[in-house]
Amino acid sequence: MKYLKNEEEAKDAVQQVFEKAIVELGKYKVDYFKSWIYMVAKNHCLMKLRDKGKLPAELKESHLSTPAEETNQPERLKKEELIDELAKALPQLNTEQRICIEQFYLQKKSYIEITETTGYSLMQVKSYIQNGKRNLKLILLNKQVNER
């Protein structure tokens, strides 16, 4: 309910998450089931919202533009430049970080889906994404400093 805001959709999601858990649980060494199932449920809901184009407010603010921003031409150009800079910085990451960042943000795959396609553990995927984001930020900051 926290993510989907619709009782029927939430019930369907619970059913789908537990079906997925039954299939996926044997593939992983899960030490903390409660944390693992929560993460699977959260990722499932976020993927449903992404597919529908309805992201939670916390994601909308940081990842999508608002109508006011869309009409602001200089702001839009600045965002386009930042996207270009990110595209140039992405190949500078190590292979594992680049693969995980691309799959999570560009292909919109969940952590579990990334573990399945890459063979990395869940903790590795989370680490590669977190470190990749940090390294992208450092690459962009260094570029800004060098341009001054």
Q: How far apart are CA 86 and CA 68, in angstroms?
A: 24
Query: What are the sequence ranges of the domains in the chain?
Result: 1-64, 65-148
63-110 pLDDT per residue, tens: 434 444 445 677 777 777 777 788 888 899 999 999 999 888 888 889
Please state whether the predicted TM-score (pTM) of the whole model is above 0.75. no
Average pLDDT in the chain: 80
DSSP 4: T
Q: How far apart are CA 19 and CA 123, in angstroms?
A: 22
Does the pLDDT of residue 128 top 80, yes or no?
yes
pLDDT of residue 72: 64
Consecutive H or E run containing 75: helix 73-89
Of residues 22 and 77, more confidently modeled: 22
Domain 65-148 has CATH 1.10.10.10: yes
